[in-house]
Amino acid sequence: MDTQATRTPTAPGRSTTTQVALVTGAAGGIGSAVARTLAERGIGVAAVDVRTTELRELAEKLTADGLTVAALPADVAGADRAEAVVEEAEQRLGPLDFLVNAAGVLRLGRVPEYRPEDWSTTFSVNAQGVFLMSQAVVRRMVPRRRGAIVTVSSNAAAVPRAGMAAYAASKAAATMFTKSLGLEVARYGIRCNVVAPGSTDTPMLSSMWQDASGPRRTIDGDPGDFRVGIPLGRLAVPSDVAEAVAFLLSDQASHITLHALTVDGGAALGA
């Protein structure tokens, strides 16, 4: 990423960081790794999450490491709050160059017994949140004729998963929304891409495990649920996903848009 030129602040207390990224879900396993990875590259990070305590702890830790990070608690599924948090991010750090939609929730359950409220929650965060945050950010990017957006989706968006129908459907919606948005804004020099992780060593993944055999069973797969396992023989770590996000935001990916980069050790067999 180009971090040579320096912006001149236009408001008291605004950062002079060259580039600015807003990262949703920043208190989560992948989101926090993305926030750190971008900040370590000299990018100012507006870290957004509904979990206020964890978010502030993250910001304090990264700031103590000499990085530029601002904690902005918000529920990305709220239309009024999405607009407000984007405005606050730009007031505090400067015009946004990047958006990373990393907020997500997982509510497991087979369809016959699945609760409507879990379906609604899953879509409100995983799909509606992506729409609202992307809309608020791209409205500002279009007049500037620059910017890049990455949505953290899932390999489940392309491969059916038993017990995960709502999650898979919501991630498929987020994936196609991001690609369609990218088609609309390409004329303004704005790129929109997707990173689709597989099983990643985060609290979301461990919440699916029943006992200590969970990691091994995830790697080996489950024929009864038509899961082939992970050909590379290991779980991803959050930094694997964060590096993919950073690449798609960078100048090295300047001619890549409408693309989904799968980071799953081969679990989806290239789907």
pLDDT digits (tens, 9 = 90+) for 41-82: 999 999 999 999 999 999 999 999 999 999 999 999 988 899
Superfamily for domain range 19-263: NAD(P)-binding Rossmann-like Domain (3.40.50.720)
- Mean pLDDT, residues 76-92 taken together: 94
pTM for the model stands at 0.90
Helices (H), the chain: 29-40, 52-64, 79-93, 116-123, 129-144, 165-185, 203-206, 214-220, 238-249
| Edge-to-edge strand ranges of the sheet holding 43-49 | 69-73, 43-49, 19-24, 98-101, 147-152, 190-197, 260-263
Q: What is the pLDDT of residues 16-33, one digit of tens each?
A: 448 999 999 999 999 999
Tokens 């790129």 label which residue? Answer: 191
- Mean pLDDT, residues 125-143 taken together: 98
Q: What is the pLDDT of residues 194-226, one digit of tens each?
A: 999 998 877 776 676 677 777 777 788 888 888
Q: Quick one: pLDDT at residue 206?
A: 65
d(CA 36, CA 40): 6
pLDDT, averaged across the chain: 91
Which are the contacts of 48, defined by CB distance < 8 A and separation ≥ 6?
22, 23, 24, 25, 26, 55, 72, 73, 74, 76, 85, 89, 103, 133
Active site residues: 167
Q: 18, 88, 100, 85: which is closest to 50 by C-alpha?
A: 85
Q: With 80 as the cut, is the pLDDT of residue 15 above it?
A: no
Instruction: Give the number of other CB atoms < 10 A from CB of residue 114.
Output: 16
Q: 105, 127, 48, 54: which is closest to 81 by C-alpha?
A: 48
Distance of CA 257 to the CA centre of its chain: 16
Q: Quick one: pLDDT at residue 209?
A: 66
Q: In this prediction, what percent of the chain has a pLDDT beyond 70?
A: 92
d(CA 89, CA 71): 9
